[in-house]
Amino acid sequence: MSSALLLIAATYGLVRLSFGLLLPDVQRDLGFGADFAGVISAGGSALYVVGAVVGFFAARMPRALVATAAASAALGATTMALATNPVVFAVAAAVGSAGAGLASPGVVGVLRAHPATASRPAFQDIANSGTGPGLVAAGLLALLLLPEWRIVWAVAAVVAVAAGVGVLRASRSPAPSDRRAALPPTPWFLAHARPTAAALAFGAGSAAVWTFGRVALVDAGMDAVSSTLVWIALGVGGAAVAFTSPRMSAAGPGRTWVLTCALAAGATLALTATGGNFAVAIVASAVFGWAYTAATGALIGWTAQIDAGRSAAGTALLFIVLVAGQGIGAGVLGVLVNPWGYTSVFVVASVVVVGAAAGAVRAPRS
């Protein structure tokens, strides 16, 4: 469903994750440093978690989740575009991030309820890969419009509304047989212990790229156009998941998770280890974009193996933990940037991502 992919592209690529892309220009105009940038990112992660928690308990109402996701993303992006001080901007960024937290379980539920996609899990991966095109679109807008970063957020708000309307028009309400208890039983949570721990570590390590990736390159001497192109490569890598998802689905979530963790860790390390070399940064960025997006798809597949009937709730749970990890990582890494520098911070982040692979050493079984 193309509208579902567009909603993920809008809420994730254009609204939530564009913060790192536009951060150098926003910092210049609103006047704040890396420590407050980490606070903003952590706040966005916290509200994402709130949205995803709502999605977890409201998984039986995917259409309502989709509508709320589009509205939250649009409101946050509009307010960011109008913000004149860091505090207002931070609050707006948090509200916008909540839209992404609501969108993922909403899209999972919508696709499971629609006859054309209910029995085809590859559609979940394709819709989830919308983050990549969203990042590409954000990067292209940045190339055209920066330093006018406010216009980028305004466009993001319009796209979020259009995507939400498109999903609602094409979706169907879940059949009565799909309605299950809002809170899964205790064994369900125990079965999710390993993917939960893995998602937390992966989220914490990935925060370095998503929050400080472009600003670290600018700090190393890379010009604005080149650093924006590196960000676009993130989206190109993420979009490539749509083409590799059949093979990754066949490999299974356990193997896919280990592979994506290894690649994401290597890309994180390479992004700043070469002192802002453009060619290396482009390749590392594309690899990271593919690995991160494929990893989120692996989480969806992982919870579906555990309990396919509650895959929307499982997606919400694992994405909650993933982004909670990002919030923790962004806050801690933001504090460490000034005393340690970006290169050392990215080394620490890559080690954390490697640790996340341990969660899937023993592949999950149905």
Place of tokens 């890396």: 34
Query: Does some domain include residue 223?
Result: yes
DSSP code at position 174: P
What token pair was written down for 83? 């913000």
Spatial CB neighbours of 116, under 8 Å, sequence gap ≥ 6: 1
Query: Does some domain include residue 287?
Result: yes
List b or e across 181-199, with b for residues whose CB sees 16 or more CB atoms inside 10 angstroms.
eeebeeebeebbebbbbbb
DSSP code at position 175: P
Range of the domain at 274: 2-174+187-360
What token pair was written down for 127? 């819709």
Query: Does some domain include residue 181?
Result: no
- Check if the beta carbon of residue 201 is closer than 8 Å to that of residue 357: no
Query: Does some domain include residue 121?
Result: yes
pTM of the model: 0.80
Q: pLDDT tens digits for the chain (366 residues)?
A: 578 888 999 999 899 988 888 998 999 999 988 889 989 988 998 998 898 888 878 878 888 999 999 999 999 999 999 999 999 999 999 999 999 989 988 887 787 776 555 555 555 556 666 788 888 899 999 999 988 999 999 999 999 999 999 988 877 665 544 444 567 888 989 988 899 999 999 999 999 999 899 889 988 889 889 999 998 998 899 888 878 877 777 778 888 899 999 999 999 999 887 777 899 999 999 999 999 988 988 898 888 888 887 877 787 788 889 989 998 998 899 899 989 999 999 999 999 999 998 866 554 444
Q: What is the DSSP annotation of 5-46?
A: HHHHIIIIIIIITHHHHHHHHHHHHHT--HHHHHHHHHHHHH
Q: ∠ CA 149-10-253 to the nearest 5 degrees? A: 125
pLDDT of 30 reads 93
Domain count, the chain: 1
Place of tokens 């690995």: 291
Query: Does some domain include residue 113?
Result: yes
Q: ∠ CA 246-45-88 to the nearest 5 degrees? A: 135
Check which CATH number belongs to the domain holding 88 and give it: 1.20.1250.20
- Check if the beta carbon of residue 324 is closer than 8 Å to that of residue 56: no
What token pair was written down for 27? 């910092």
Query: Does some domain include residue 161?
Result: yes
Other Cβ atoms closer than 10 A to 291:
27
DSSP code at position 240: T
pLDDT of 56 reads 76
pLDDT of 296 reads 87
What token pair was written down for 300? 């969806």
Query: Does some domain include residue 179?
Result: no
pLDDT of 364 reads 45
CA–CA dist 101, 321 (Å, integer): 11
Q: 3-state DSSP call for residue 198? A: helix
Q: Which amino acid, one-letter code, is at 165? A: V
- Check if the beta carbon of residue 136 is closer than 8 Å to that of residue 239: yes
pLDDT of 363 reads 45
Report how far apart, in Å, the C-alpha atoms of 97 and of each of 104, 115, 323, 330, 352 are.
12, 30, 10, 14, 23
Query: Does some domain include residue 147?
Result: yes
Count CA atoms closer than 13 A to 76's CA, side-chain side: 32
